[in-house]
Chains A and B, each alone.
Chain A
Amino acid sequence: MANTKHDVIIIGAGVVGCMVARLLSRFKLDVLLIEKDSDIGMGASSANTAIVHAGYDPKPGTLKAEMNVAGNRMYDQLAGELNFPFERRGDYVVAIGAEEFVKLEGLRQQGLENGVPGMVIIDGADVRRREPNINPDVSGALWASTGGICDPFAVAVAAAENAVVNGVTLLTDTAFQDFIMEGTRIVGVRTNRGDFRSRWVVNSAGLYSDVVMHKAGLRPEFKITPRKGEYYVFDKAEITINNVLFPVPSATSKGILVTTTVHGNTIIGPNALEIEDKEDRSITRVGMDEIWQGALSLIPSLSLRYSIAEFAGLRPGGNAPCANPNVKYDKDFIIEIPKQVEGLVNLGGIESPGLTSSPAIAVRVVELLKDAGEKLEEKPEWNPIRRARPRFRDMLPVEQKLLIESHPSYGRIICRCENVTEGEIIAEIHAPVPARTYDAVKRRTWLGTGRCQGGFDTARVVEILARELGVSPLEVSKKGKGSEFLVRPTKEKEAEQC
């Protein structure tokens, strides 16, 4: 594959890279999507609050504000075409005490400037009626009816699958090392798996977008500072908060939420800690205490006893000034075709609301390519629909019965907490964007996310992965090379094998 010439190479298969790939697959282009990890969407795209933001948060006039509101509007059609879980259930910014209540109007005005429809400020009694578990000192809330929740990894993988089915080539375990330049023109990329040539390169490298653009000599002052956010996940049988509850935001962050998810679990988080290490997704005692205190100020009745998981994600926060000189803001998105080099679409600092913005960013990338004179000719055979595969736990008993009759492997439950079947796992291993590790199966099927956290399923999934991939169980890993579960056969097994 090396040295064949592509039209476009996309660096990084997070939700932004996948959305760009999917939209480019609509045109007569040879597109290559490369990803350094063993799976798509392993960075910020799979560890965040899973919210499709309404758009009242970003500062008016910024790219963040524009992309947020535009992206939000696209989600209904997108969810319909790509069949990922999405619920436009609205969100609340909850004010505790009189002082915070005053700030809600400012937030509403900001939303109006950004073009957010369907916002209203409600009083404390109304909030209590809608969310009985709320802090009794609640003084009111901004209700934004266009806020939504989704499964963010499902968004990314659905877009990637649709892209692959429409002809995009996806290469995982393929890490960008450098650009191949001819003068000021980028003509390809160098990777750990060889050189790939192309007319265009899209930088959607997320946490590493600064490193990538520096390799092209661009924006030397631009720096991604990872901002860690930690979360608790609660047992859905014990705690159900059915709303999306934000606190009144601070200058640096949208604050610690208490929110529901499309999987039915309540989650709390994130905090916001700036760090240097782009791979440090460790959970800290201090961080956990911080989000716990934050969550209690919204829902005092929460109990840690029912926490079933903790995780941390890194937001790829940048330091790019807003392109509009009249707007004072220095953490804006970068979406540009820079003049200094040719052949690069440069994206950077796509942190929250990046998930919401991703479909709008993809549209902007296409517009930029057109402006640069790229003749984008539509493929008549392009199929925008990605069909969902069966989800056993969401089916009625009568549907389950029929499914098992035609496909008996859907009758074998592998994850007892989330009722994930062998059939679903096999389908994901052989999907257009295949799951090849335990975590990849987990992100796609949601197995191992319940109370026992994989205690029951791990050994069984290792066995299924080994069988379906035709490898030894010793080669099956949690999240790619170096994270294998098993180290060698036992003495008894070795004797058997001899």
Chain B
Amino acid sequence: MLKEKYDVIVIGAGPAGLAAAIEAKKTGAQDVLVIERAQELGGILQQCIHNGFGLQILKRDLPGPAYAQRFIDELAGLHIDTLLDAMALNVTSGRHVSATSRWSGFVDLDTRALVLAMGCRERTRAQIALPGTRPAGVFTAGTAQRFVNIEGYMPGKRFVILGSGDIGMIMARRLTFEGAKVERVLEIMPFLTGLTRNYVQCLMDYDIPLQLRHTVKRIIGNDRVEAIESVQIDEQRQPIPGTEEIIPCDTLLLSVGLIPENELSRKAGVSLDPVTGGPFVDEKMQTNVPGIFAAGNVVHVYDLVDWVTQAGWLCGRNAAEYAISERKRHGRRVKMKAGDNVRYIVPHTLDKESLAESVQRLQMRVTLPIEEPVWVEVMNGEERVTRKAELYVRPGEMVNIDIPQSAYDAVQRASELSVRVIKRQGG
């Protein structure tokens, strides 16, 4: 059962979100909720079935799902709420979160601190403006990875990979395992853009050629990719005429970079760095919006998941501390509630300590006129804090009542004070 208000809500249950939620809870946050759009926790790690995770912080070489499982197990022991298969639709700067899923329906939640951990997305064919036709068989490396490792289907037989990013190289090896032919990896830059260890373990070991300073000039094929035309480029990234080559293939995989995913951040008024594509953050991983924190690939694209987990820990700790201090600050305040025949009261809240300084005046209007003597009473539940007599009340005339300093103790016991205006029967 979801609560209406949380100390910390984390959006995204990848490595950053899991670490943030765990650390927030350990730091003392009372209620923590993780919202995840997939049907299980772990984020993109679940489709990264290759090894190479955890060497830095766990001193072990784990596949992605096993790395994720350690944190999923830890989270399960901490009584952290989860909302799975759910999409956060909106986040406000006041930390109101709307989310939806088949199971929960449309939910509105408030939180004292919010952690953005939505990760990143892959750059697409369109963002690099690849010319040619638009057939089936052009996939981002991550989409292909999902098809192969999660859904259990091969998206092609004969591949060309554009971009020497890590996911592309890892997929080259994975597809080769599955009996597919990877013709070539093309890289527009004069250097490898992924990790050297992936080049050695995924390309060299399987004799998959890497061509630096090469790109795709156009895609060929109307229904399904039939070939791509590759071309070498010069220092100015201009194609060198005469170096074109038609490479027959049925699939083109794109591993051409990642971009932090900040649609929600934007809705909350979080300022984004045009260079990283992620929020501007301080040393606490707090954004420009107080109480909204961010961690992991949503801030900038990391090379190793270990560092993402670390960023999540830091962020979760600070989010929890923010929530705890918010709670304390709010704990000192008492809400004013309009009772019988009172339309509204100003101020709406009162710092309990303010009575130590001076008398506190409340101003209000009544709903209906009472043309006979009345009591204006300030109540804490059934306990009367103070009262004042009036000969009559009318909606057109404002009513004042002072809470005397002598009521200090009574006010300390209250979380809410109501004011009512009632007839002075026999009194």
Contact = CB atoms under 8 A, between A and B. Distances in A.
A480 interface: yes
Interface in A471-498: 473-474, 477-493, 496
A462 B147 CA distance: 10
Interface string A278-307: 011111110010000000000000001001
B223 interface: yes
A469 interface: no
Nearest to A422: B102
A386 interface: no
A308 interface: yes
A478 B136 contact: yes
Interface stretch (B150-158, B187-195, B395-403, B409-417): B150-158
Interface string B115-152: 00000011011110111111111011011001110111
Contacts of A487: 153-157, 250
B31 to A, nearest CB: 23
Contacts of A490: 148, 152-154, 178
Nearest to A484: B136
Given A413-B37, A463-B151, A480-B223, A404 B127 contact: no
Contacts of B250: 487
Contact of A488 (B106, B130, B153, B223): B153
Contacts of B223: 478-483
B239 to A, nearest CB: 9
A493 B154 CA distance: 10
Contacts of B181: none
A310 B126 contact: yes
Secondary structure dominating the interface of B = mixed
Contact of B100 (A285, A413, A452, A489): A413
A411 B124 contact: no
B140 A491 contact: no
Nearest to A230: B131
A482 B224 contact: yes
A411 B154 contact: no
Interface residues of B, number: 55
A492 B147 CA distance: 13
Contacts of A417: 263
A453 B125 contact: yes
A479 B130 CA distance: 20
Nearest to A232: B129
A320 interface: no
Interface residues of A, number: 60
A412 B152 contact: no
A233 B112 CA distance: 39
A148 B130 CA distance: 31
B150 to A, nearest CB: 7
A408 B102 contact: yes
B102 A412 contact: yes
B288 interface: no
Given A463-B151, A474-B153, A483 B126 contact: no
A273 interface: no
Secondary structure dominating the interface of A = mixed
A479 B133 CA distance: 13
Contact of B127 (A307, A474, A477): A307
A455 B136 contact: no
A325 interface: no
Contacts of B140: 455
Contacts of B218: 282, 284
A283 B136 contact: no
A455 B154 contact: no
Contacts of B146: 459
Interface in A407-423: 408-409, 411-413, 416-417, 419, 422
Contacts of B133: 280-283
Given A397-B98, A413-B87, A455-B142, A486 B121 contact: no
Nearest to A472: B153
Contacts of B100: 400, 404, 411-413
A124 B241 CA distance: 45
Contact of B105 (A279, A411, A456, A489): A411
B420 interface: no
A478 B152 CA distance: 19
A135 to B, nearest CB: 23
B276 interface: no
A284 B102 CA distance: 43
B387 interface: no
Counting chain B CB atoms within 10 Å of each CB, which of A482, A485, A489 scores highest? A485
B330 to A, nearest CB: 26
A451 B245 CA distance: 31
A237 B156 CA distance: 34
A421 B152 CA distance: 24
B303 to A, nearest CB: 21
B233 to A, nearest CB: 12
A411 B178 CA distance: 36
B240 to A, nearest CB: 14
A496 B151 CA distance: 12
Interface of B: 37, 85, 87, 89-90, 98, 100-106, 108, 121-122, 124-127, 129-137, 139-140, 142-143, 146-148, 150-157, 178-179, 217-219, 222-224, 250, 263, 266
Given A400-B89, A413-B100, 18 more contacts: A233-B126, A237-B263, A282-B134, A283-B134, A304-B129, A307-B129, A411-B100, A417-B263, A453-B124, A453-B125, A478-B136, A479-B223, A480-B223, A483-B135, A483-B223, A485-B137, A487-B157, A493-B153
28 contacts: A237-B266, A282-B131, A283-B130, A288-B129, A304-B129, A307-B127, A308-B127, A310-B126, A397-B106, A401-B106, A404-B105, A412-B100, A412-B101, A416-B37, A452-B122, A458-B139, A462-B151, A463-B151, A477-B136, A479-B136, A483-B136, A486-B153, A487-B153, A487-B250, A489-B152, A490-B178, A492-B152, A493-B152
